[in-house]
Structure 1
């Protein structure tokens, strides 16, 4: 089969797509990845074939310089996705306004630079399957234009599918003539431009590939999900020699992800306070800290090792506890190794993930406003000394390992592609 992955140029989201692309390639399928031209280097660095389409326009990097956009992102989920966290917010006015803003301020500027070029390439190459993430709606537009099957690949909690089901329920309750749908109108305009009509699958895919276990996920009851393991890929990396040796005392890892410094101008709490609070522990503290954040530190405790980056799948198995921001890739990687976790969530779906971990006893969670040094220290001591956290972390690890690997998912993807691909294309 010909399989076309497509993604807006956001590195952390793309990296979550790489293992499945490898699996499909290893099964003998022709796999290519389409994105904006400036992102081609990131794609080829992952050992995949890049297809530059459209023009460069990185909404995320533009928003990084706008304080209002930063504060909105840091506030967590907003309409319409906030109904995943609080279903009582699912009112027509709230959700309609949310979808309108999401289309105008998000989907349009994120996807417009790619749509024409992606459709042009799809007509040339004629993929059997298009795999897209929930922010890359250029994907279903191109797939529908050429009659290809298409699937969403989730990069976190399915706030998109859950919100859409709430909206459709409210829309059905509206009087005829008062059922405006900003997302359907926008996608439908492109569908008609390219010879088709809007179908609801353009919002959520013919099927959805979910990389997270059921205990961490929230699903939309009406959608078709195929679950697989999250396999860590973090880009080019080396395993340092100090990681070859087993630590002689407990090790606590600290990582707050790439987005905090690349998109949000720094961490949501004081790194200095965090390190100072752990300075007297009889433990090895390993913190992955961006160089510009390291430069802000006034002191580095004797029990602390600072590194700008280390592959998390190499660090996590050596740790007895890990402090992180509950980013999807970080959380999923740590969970694979049965390590208790302290989450200090930063934005978007991270508070939901942090709550899931705490509810199942796999870890603890603190809001950034509560993440002072003494609170951090007390929570880390609990993770290190109370056996129940490691027991529950081991149960989550086993739940993840029981899922099909990306390689094992390939036959099912082949079946679904055959079922949904147009026979008249």
Structure 2
């Protein structure tokens, strides 16, 4: 069969889908990966065939149809910028609140946040790709479209050609949880007060491209591929099989396979550490796309300088320039493949990003997480509940506190026991190769002949 992956132009997101793309390819299926033209080289570096669909300034192509345009939250911008006007209020993400065990947010507040990020995030990411994604799908006729949870050009293209389509999660199903809570609160309101900007926009886009009307699977996928073990998933969402929704999509668990792009295992990684090794890794997204790390790396270095341990810190070159003192027990590198570094460590200190947490969990290594926002806090919370690590919000993370929690993790055997249990749970999950027959079955089930 023909499988089209639709991915956001983000390294972390793309790298999480690469092993499945290769599993399908080696099973004999034709595979293409579609994203913005600027991302084609990254796709090629993974040995996959790229389909460039649109570019950052391509929104004017979609803007020709006003039905594709959701209204702005407060005022419609007159230009094509993909950022809100400087004088417009930027609300907090809705996903952080909904990720809490007991969300405490009103319909008015949730709707305001949700609609804002539909306008200034989901839409601005998807619109540049929609026209060419649909055009390519019409020409190539994929049987299955697999899309990441914010690559909404994927389900639009799938509906346009009658292909089956699935979400591939790269973390907790925080989007599904928010959507379900949104719909629950919406159903309690009068029709006049409801509204649904995401549904209105996706429905208009689907209709314009011949895909019919909006259906909820344009948000949830006809089925969901989930790389987290059950113990780390968010309870009560479509992805964990215990959703409150009556229309739960099929759920396909898949073991996470670490992939961080082209990499080299340097000679220093071949050697057995002479002292207890601890890794510090704070992700690629914060350094490459945002304002830098959310924690004070220098403060952490200073706090662990006198410990009888070896610290390997993978710090982006730009962030390295902010470091004035590197202790003798710290080795600072720009990058090291986590799948090679983590197994040599007794603990990993990180930002609670999905890929880092999944890699450390897969190798049974205890973790100290310093989350900031989005799905990081709930992921860190679930890991801590399993006993496989400790967590502290980045806003509260000082060098002395990091040192204190790290010493607990290194000194108490319960963390190693729990981490080993989590590793065994992940190893029991089916691999990407093993789920291919299930994907073939679901494609037949959902594809429109």
TM-score w.r.t. length of structure 1: 0.93
Which runs of structure 2 are paired with 1:275-314 in the superposition (5 Å)?
275-314=301-340
Deviation at 1:57, TM superposition (A): 4.9
Instruction: Tell me the distance in 1 between the aligned counterparts of 2:54 and 2:136.
Output: 10
1:418 maps to 2:441? no
Deviation at 1:108, TM superposition (A): 1.4
- Aligned residue in 1 for 2:71: none
Instruction: Tell me the distance in 1 between the aligned counterparts of 2:343 and 2:87.
Output: 39
- Aligned residue in 1 for 2:383: 357
Taking a change above 3 Å as real, the CA distance of residues 328 and 96 of structure 1, as seen in their structure-2 partners, is same
| Contact 1:211 1:230 (C-alpha < 8 Å) held by counterparts | yes
Stretches of structure 2 that go unaligned for 5 or more consecutive residues are: 60-80
1:304-350 per-position Cα deviation (integer Å, ceiling 9, x unaligned): 11110000000000000110000011110111000010001133111
- Aligned residue in 1 for 2:38: 38
Deviation at 1:88, TM superposition (A): 3.5
Which runs of structure 2 are paired with 1:273-422 in the superposition (5 Å)?
273-422=299-448
Residue from 92, 97, 100 that aligns with 1:85 = 100
1:194 maps to 2:209? yes
Which runs of structure 2 are paired with 1:148-163 in the superposition (5 Å)?
148-163=163-178
1:28 maps to 2:28? yes
| Contact 2:58 2:128 (C-alpha < 8 Å) held by counterparts | no
1:183-220 per-position Cα deviation (integer Å, ceiling 9, x unaligned): 11101101111221111111111001010011111133
Taking a change above 3 Å as real, the CA distance of residues 65 and 395 of structure 1, as seen in their structure-2 partners, is farther
- Aligned residue in 2 for 1:174: 189
| Contact 2:95 2:374 (C-alpha < 8 Å) held by counterparts | no
RMSD between aligned residues: 2.2
Deviation at 1:11, TM superposition (A): 1.1
SS of corresponding position for 2:166: strand
SS of corresponding position for 2:103: helix
| Contact 2:372 2:395 (C-alpha < 8 Å) held by counterparts | no
Deviation at 1:107, TM superposition (A): 1.5
- Aligned residue in 2 for 1:217: 233
Deviation at 1:93, TM superposition (A): 1.6
TM-score w.r.t. length of structure 2: 0.89
1:270 maps to 2:296? yes
Taking a change above 3 Å as real, the CA distance of residues 240 and 149 of structure 1, as seen in their structure-2 partners, is same
Deviation at 1:82, TM superposition (A): 2.4
1:212-249 per-position Cα deviation (integer Å, ceiling 9, x unaligned): 01111113313332111111110010001111111122
- Aligned residue in 2 for 1:111: 126
SS of corresponding position for 2:225: strand
Residue from 218, 238, 244 that aligns with 2:270 = 244
Deviation at 1:64, TM superposition (A): 10
1:12 maps to 2:12? yes
1:128 maps to 2:159? no
SS of corresponding position for 2:123: helix
**Range that drifts further, 361-370 or 148-157:** 361-370
Deviation at 1:81, TM superposition (A): 5.6
Stretches of structure 1 that go unaligned for 5 or more consecutive residues are: none
Deviation at 1:6, TM superposition (A): 0.8
| Contact 1:320 1:339 (C-alpha < 8 Å) held by counterparts | yes
Instruction: Tell me the distance in 1 between the aligned counterparts of 2:215 and 2:47.
Output: 34
| Contact 2:82 2:120 (C-alpha < 8 Å) held by counterparts | no
Deviation at 1:163, TM superposition (A): 1.5
Taking a change above 3 Å as real, the CA distance of residues 388 and 57 of structure 1, as seen in their structure-2 partners, is farther
1:261-293 per-position Cα deviation (integer Å, ceiling 9, x unaligned): 112222112111111111111111111111222
Length, aligned pairs only: 417
Instruction: Tell me the distance in 2 between the aligned counterparts of 1:384 and 1:178.
Output: 53
Instruction: Tell me the distance in 1 between the aligned counterparts of 2:270 and 2:87.
Output: 44
| Contact 2:83 2:120 (C-alpha < 8 Å) held by counterparts | no
SS of corresponding position for 2:301: helix
SS of corresponding position for 1:167: helix
Deviation at 1:95, TM superposition (A): 2.6
